Structure 1
Amino acid sequence: MTRRLAFPVLALMLFAVAACDNAKAQTVQRTLPDDATLLTLSESAERDVTPDTMRARLMAQATSESAATSQSSVNAAMTRALNRVKALGLEVETGSYNTYQESPQRPQSLPAGAKPPAPLWRAQQSLIITAKDDAKLLEAVGALQTEGLALQELGYTLSREQQRGQQDEMFAEALQRLGARAEKAAAALDMRFEGWARVGLNGGMIARPVMMKAMAMSARAEAAPPVAAAGEQTISVTVDGEAILRRR
């Protein structure tokens, strides 16, 4: 008996849901005046901003015939690097850690009794430093280069606070432009703008930070710290909406 009622009950439930959806749609339509026209508009705002944060990524690496020896060298180098950076009060985090084996190219001919080159184990781990104080970060990078870490990337990016602050201002600017466009469109159509049926704020988009590739410094080399200058990055936001227009 239960099996016979399952399909009718399910059909009744689906019919009820569909009826509710139709009722909601009709309710939304009835909220608009009969002479109303919906006009879809969009507007954007864009500006060039100088990033407030510098970011550097360095790599500690070691090679040995023993995986344990390579990893031990990297671990020691990273410990020293973390202590140095934290002592300067900079934001630091460790990145990926990789250990893999490299097989040297086998010579075409070997002297009698000579052994082929042994496989080597390479270990490496990255270190990422972020700071708003350019001079202090560059000083730290220079010191770590001297200790044998290789500088992989150096560049600028927007902090979360700067990003949100800029986006809030730009959304307000874009919304003002959107309202002005609605007024002009209504006037061109000999109608009047009465408000919005819907408005959407499309999340601000930030250009990816341009990182300057850096050449690796030789281990323990005495060298001046790197230099860098911040360039501008373009931020843009978009808003869209459905304007309600009515006859004059």
Structure 2
Amino acid sequence: MAPSRLIFPAFAAAFLLASGVAAAQTAQRVLPDDATLLTLNEQAERDVTPDTIRARLVAQATSEQAAAAQSSVNAAMTKALARARSLGLEVETGGYNTWQETPPRPQALPAGTKPPAPVWRAQQSLILNAKEDAKLLEAVGILQGEGLALQELGYMISREQQRSIQDDLVAEALQRLTARAQRAAAALGMEFTGWARVGVHGGGVSRPMLMRAAEAKGMAAGVPPVTAAGEQTVSMTVDGEAILRRR
């Protein structure tokens, strides 16, 4: 027995097609004949002092054996994690890398002398975040004294602070967008009656460059670094299509 097939009558296909067209038409905006759409955008921004200080340190080791270099890094990181947590800091580990380096061969190698052997290098980063500058800077000094190198140091706006500021900026930008629509309508001899569409776009945060490893090399091990927070700019952008009508 041949398998049965489900056959749609022609009128059913036509009905489905008509339904799809109707749905698409419904989704389209329906505006009065005398309405005009005016596209506008507005931005609000604010300079704020970051609420979080952040430091990235790195544990490094070198050995002719990869396992030995990794073991040294593991021991240093275990000690550093315990130390940072004991000081009540927010801590996380970063990337872990192991690679082999071949020292350059001397141009004049005495007879019977072996060229420098390849060495293995291992390193892992440790990231510290804190709301209190003094606590984090003290920890950085301690960890430097225990062999970790300071890689980056700077300030950042936390997610909580950023979201709170962005909520205020959205409200401010929307008020300015509405006022702008009203002024444009008046200039055109029309009246602003509402919005056909409004969009809110993720704001940016201007982040200054953190102090890099090259700048941190001059710091004496065990001596806490000194830093000060500068202002960063948070911004939000809104846009919309204003509905204008003749008076």
Q: Distance in 2 between matches of 1:207 and 1:30?
A: 37
Q: What's 1:81 paired with?
A: 80
Contact kept in structure 2, 1:94 and 1:128, CA below 8 Å: yes
Q: CA RMSD in A?
A: 2.7
1:158-215 CA-partner distances (Å, limit 9, x unpaired): 0001000110000000000011011111111111111111111111122245211244
1:125 and 2:124 are equivalent in the alignment: yes
Q: How many residues are treated as equivalent by the alignment?
A: 244
Q: Secondary structure at the match of 1:196?
A: strand
Contact 1:145 1:217 in 2 (8 A): no
CA distance in 2, matches of 1:113, 1:91: 54
The one-letter code matched in structure 1 to 2:41 is S
Read off the aligned partner of 2:177 and give its amino acid letter: L
Change (3 A) 1:152 1:136: same
1-structure distance, mates of 2:157, 2:238: 22
Distance of aligned partners of 1:172 and 1:144 in 2 relative to their CA distance in 1, 3 Å threshold: same
Give yes or no for contact 2:42–2:173 (8 Å, CA) kept in 1.
yes
Residue aligned with 2:204, SS: strand
Name the SS of the counterpart of 2:197 in structure 1. strand
Q: Taking structure 1 as reference, are residues 62 and 136 closer, same or farther at Cα in structure 2, changes over 3 Å only?
A: same
Q: Distance in 2 between matches of 1:242 and 1:21?
A: 26
Q: Distance in 1 between matches of 2:171 and 2:19?
A: 37
How many percent identity over aligned positions? 71
Q: In structure 2, what is the Cα distance between the partners aligned to 1:227 and 1:82?
A: 22
Structure 2 vs 1, CA of residues 222 and 56 (structure 1 numbering), >3 Å: closer, same or farther? closer
Matches within 5 A, 1:30-49: 31-49=30-48
1:44-59 matches, within 5 Å, as 44-59=43-58
TM normalised by structure 1 equals 0.88
Give the drift of 1:28.
5.3
Distance 1:29 1:75 in 2: 61
Q: Which residue of 1 aligns with 2:202?
A: 203
C-alpha distance in 2 between matches for 1:103 and 1:246: 76
| Alpha-carbon distance in structure 2 between the residues aligned to 1:180 and 1:209 | 33
> Given that residues 130 and 136 in structure 2 are in contact (C-alpha distance below 8 angstroms), is that contact kept between their aligned partners in structure 1?
yes
**Structure 1 residues 115-134: Cα deviation after superposition (integer angstroms, max 9, x where no partner):** 22111111111111111111
Mapped to 2, the partners of 1:240 and 1:187 lie a distance apart of 19
- Segments of structure 1 that go 5 or more residues without pairing to the other structure are none
Q: Distance in 1 between matches of 2:233 and 2:216?
A: 30
Contact 1:60 1:148 in 2 (8 A): yes
